[in-house]
Chain A
Amino acid sequence: MRGFPGGTARKVTFRGGSSLVQCRSSRFNTNSCAPEGTGFGDLPLPSRSDSSPSCPRLGQPARSAPILILSPLHLALAKCRDFVLRINMKKLSFSILLGLMALFAQAAPPLTCPIMGNEIPNGATSTTFRGLFVQFCCPGCDLRFLAEPEKYISKAADEKRVVALSLFDPVAHIAVKDPVGTEDYRGIRYPFSSAESLAKFREMPELYAEAPDMDSLTCPVMQTKIANYKDASGYADFEGVRYYFCCAGCDAKFLSDPAKYALLVKKSVRKVGAPNNEGLSPKPGSRIMPTCAGCAGEARLLSADGSLANRWTLSMRYINERRHTASRQRISIDYALSPRLSVGLERSGSDDSTGPKKTNGIFNTLRFSDGDTPILPRASWFITTEGKHHPSLVLGLTSDRLSTPHGQAFFLTAAHTIKGVPITPFVSVKTNSFDGKTVFPFGANLQVAPRFTLQAINDGDYTHLLLTHLGQRQTMSIMLAKSKYLGFAWSVGF
């Protein structure tokens, strides 16, 4: 009879197994009882018209006492109440706090590609830009990013995505390898070397996140070139230029007389993101022809002033197949009228034994068919680049399949990268002039390593494989045409 200082009592057992002890409690001047072992000593009880027994403790008769009709649910609630009352509130508060911190720590969103918005796969292509480390879902995205980096960072900020990691504490201006904390602000995740830095940043994030438009990757104190933002120990801003340092200690020297040191490296100051001799950003004039149809396709690299850096692309292809129906070599030249529209000319040569053979020894193996082989027009138009919810669409005119000696084809290709993996499948519809057939080529690009892609294509008749390296100005591919004939392709932008 817990909670009963005294009074008469009796035990009442109810259906359901609960029982209670009824007695008179002098403490509350009322008859009260509680289920056996529950401790509900002070609950008012319903009336009971039975004759009153005596309290086993005090021997006093119980008056018409209310009886608490309790069910197993009430017993469970009673147990809970006892448990709650016994909890150490300080320990509970701390546990709840720890849990919430763990929850929020895990809630930091993953980084995403600034172009496509996809999550970053392992071994992703990456680049650095004004002290930021940026990764991409597939090749081609990096060059699109470097053409308009602020636009993509701003877009990510509006979409509440984080797309870049700052390499430096924005308050202390030092490189941070093991941050005590991070904070996301407008698309960028900032690391902090101390709690004080983090607190200052949180108070005025815009002030500390701002970065000048000009920077210098030559240490103004040691006058040594810094290969990459990742190699800098820190930076200091002076008169609208961010100067990066090669090692700790240089910042203090610089700040003692910034005007003097800034003058020493005046020639190394450049607009952020502009090309430099170290190749830290793509040189102007580079034209990339990536195989990720969704990400960049015919992406053009823009020069620092935003204009098309180069417009011409020369491409060559050779396949070691000697059958007369094979188009062994092809040479083409394209001109970019705009970032999405290019036109060109191509010439395919077949080993057609019915035609006259060239007698020029050195080119004897590279036979062009008879003089009737035309130089054909070609074009491609990126109707739309890939978006989060729609594929890229390319409409074009090109030569017919690899297995045909001549002819042209109109094609429409749709491609979309699979979320979370560096694979871009594509499908096409192609109308060919060689045999009048309409075929449905399909295939997929797979990023196997930074700047390397593997493409498998079925052109409606045969399956071909290509392994491509995307360089700054050139692309090179090794091919396995029709799954058995080795080939080679090369293109250069200028």
Chain B
Amino acid sequence: MNLSLQRRGFGRFALASVLLVGAVMTGMKPAHAADEAPDALVKRLSTDVLETIKADTSIKSGDVQKIMVLVDSKIMPNVNFQRMTASAVGPAWRQATPDQKTRLQNEFKTLLVRSYAGALDQVSDQSVIVRPFRGSADDKEVLIRTEVRGQGDPVQLDYRLEKTPGDGAGWKVYNINVLGVWLVDTYRSQFAEEINSKGIEGLIAALVARNKTNGARR
């Protein structure tokens, strides 16, 4: 109890200091990024992204290019997207060539951004509450649980993060849970179906085709 209070206190302190540093040196990376606790990172990142969406009407209306800029500048630096893609692809990932791996990541990212772009006009007065962190400070992988609160029932949004080896590399997200459903896991069987019938190239082709249809509609 006492410990978790301390941790929460520390989280708040870390958040405040990060915000302060961020405000003072806009555009510069905080010098002590490695010291930021994973729950503080999630809080900072989700609040930042949410505020950016709220403030930008073209993002809210689903402007994919602007959303992609937001994703690349704010979200991707804190995500191990290679691990996410590899995990969704499964054992076949090891047989993929470096070129195939790059294309898989690009198409998977486009698929996710395009699909969720249409939902952003739902953003209005929501705020993110990070639930008390249950892990320990020297864990290599942690689960951070949050709630998005707005009108109606709160939405459960959880993150799995891994500690990047080395100093200053910080934490990176490698899976997201929306309302009890893990994103990566939900793609695993679908990807396996494509790979089993048409191989890695077949999966890439299916992703390209889906992205093309989604792109044509918007």
A and B bind = no
